[in-house]
Amino acid sequence: MKPLRAALGIALAAALLAATPTARADEVGVSKDAILFGQAAALEGPSSQLGQRMRHGIVAAFNEVNAKGGIHGRKLQLISRDDGYDPDRSVVQTLRLIDDDKVFALIGAVGTPTAMATIPITSAREVPFIGPLSGAALLRDLELTNVVNIRASYSAETETIVRHLTEDRHFTRIGIFYQDDSFGRDGLKGVKNALAKRGLELAVEGTFERNTRAVGGAWRTIKRAEPEAIVMVGTYGPSAEFIKLAHRSGVYPTFVSISFVGATALAKELGPDGDGVVVAQVVPFPWDRSIKLVADYQAAQAAFDPTLAPDFVALEGYLSGRLVAAALEKAGPNPTRAGLLRTINDTGRFDISGSIVTVGARALETPPKVFLTVIQKDGTFKPIDRL
């Protein structure tokens, strides 16, 4: 009987051990002591400030979490690969992250055209695609269950912009300068819809090619229409070149950009020409330390690199990093890709340092906020209160 009792005791102990929620490492990108994330974004080239600052924010968030012991004993790590804000390169780098680096999830991708190229890959493989820097409508299809958006849509941004221009400024002649691709056309559609709601039409439109500063043709077209305001849908380089060209021509319409421009990079590029340029934002004001999220972000970024200044894009990256950490904590000690997505979508509402982030269906009920800022003479930003 003793051998039988011993065997039963061993079996019972094994069963109890199996039922205990200890951390396992049986998912891609998850090891005993780490969870590996991947980022394919512009880290070099004309749009590099966007990818770099998203990375700064994500790493700052991960370092903050890791300093407190990580998630269920695991540290969060990030591998970033440069795609140059080019769809073909983004496909290559995304595949490298998934197949070679074997990341658990993707985070902090930059851009609509790159997302259009890579979403089919991540969706087919059910790889989480967290916090892309894009407000494109295509990413907000609820059937894309692997995509987690934290920012407002471009339609929400353009509605806020047009409402400000028409109701606060009382402008009726509004033009648009946009990147000639899926990103720019998404912004174009949003502006047209917002104007149509008010019985207005675009006064003029001009385009430029992605990853270039060839904006002369667009300016010549737009200048002839003499718009009172110009909505810009592009990155900081061509947008700054466009504004400077207008000022050199002696023309000073009101310029308003959507958030993807990279506001602080735009202000730096513009210098004195930035005075009065309005930029939409989708995260809290990154200098307002009365907001706990901002205070935590500033502290985390200073710990990561004290030379970095507060930045809208970096704060967005930080928010994405904190969101995924909160979801992993809630998902439990044995993380899986499916489990992470299920937790995010089922929860739908996360409290990140006192600021509420809504995702998935909950974001339709309570959309992320949009507010406007204006660049001052010294290159700093001021929130616009009146809307």
Residue 15 has pLDDT above 80, yes or no: no
Identify the band that residue 201 occupies on the pLDDT scale cut at 50, 70 and 90: very high
In terms of Cα–Cα distance, which of 251, 235, 243 is closest to 375?
243
Backbone φ, ψ for residue 350 (5° rounding): -120, 135
Is residue 23 scored above 80 in pLDDT? no
pLDDT tier at 8, thresholds 50, 70, 90: very low
pLDDT exceeds cutoff 60 at 322: yes
- Amino acid present at 229: A
Residue 5, pLDDT > 50, answer: no
What does the pLDDT read at residue 16?
Answer: 33
- Say what the pLDDT of residue 385 is: 72
State the average pLDDT over residues 253-257. 98
Q: Is residue 113 pLDDT above 90, yes or no?
A: yes
In this prediction, residue 18 carries a pLDDT of 36
* pLDDT score of 11 more than 50: no
Percent of the chain with pLDDT strictly greater than 70:
93
Please check the confidence at residue 20 and state whether its pLDDT lies above 70: no
CA dist., res. 322 & res. 108, Å (int): 12
Residue 246: φ, ψ to 5°: -60, -45
Question: What is the model's pLDDT at position 24?
Answer: 52
Region 321-334: mean pLDDT is: 98
Mean pLDDT of 29-36: 98
- Region 349-355: mean pLDDT is 97
What local confidence, expressed as pLDDT, does residue 143 receive? 92
Residue 72 has pLDDT above 80, yes or no: yes
Global pTM value: 0.92
Residues 176, 277, 182: CA angle, nearest 5 degrees = 35
Sort strands 75-82 and 34-41 into parallel, antiparallel or unpaired. Answer: parallel
With 60 as the cut, is the pLDDT of residue 291 above it?
yes
Amino acid 22: pLDDT: 41
Cβ-in-10-Å burial (0-12, 13-18, 19+) of 215 comes to buried
Q: Is 299's pLDDT higher than 90? A: yes
For the cut 50, the answer to whether the pLDDT of residue 85 exceeds it is yes
User: Is the pLDDT score of 208 beyond 70?
Assistant: yes
Mean pLDDT of 348-358: 97
> Mean pLDDT, the chain, as a whole number?
93
- Between the CA of residue 270 and those of 30, 89, 137, 167, 222, what are the distances in Å? 44, 29, 29, 27, 20
Phi first, then psi, for residue 356 (nearest 5°) are: -90, 125
pLDDT band at 101; cut points 50, 70, 90: very high
Q: Which of 5-19, 104-118, 261-275, 333-347 has the lowest mean pLDDT?
A: 5-19
**Residue 139 contacts by C-beta under 8 Å, 6 or more apart in sequence?**
112, 115, 119, 132, 147, 149
pLDDT of residue 4: 30
Q: In which band, very low, low, confident or very high, does the pLDDT at 386 lie, cut at 50, 70 and 90? A: low
What is the C-alpha to C-alpha distance for residues 184 and 191, in angstroms, rounded to an integer? Answer: 11
Asked whether 295 and 289 are in contact (CB, 8 A), the reply is: yes
Lowest average pLDDT, out of 25-29, 34-38, 273-277, 297-301, goes to 25-29
Is 335 a residue whose pLDDT tops 70? yes
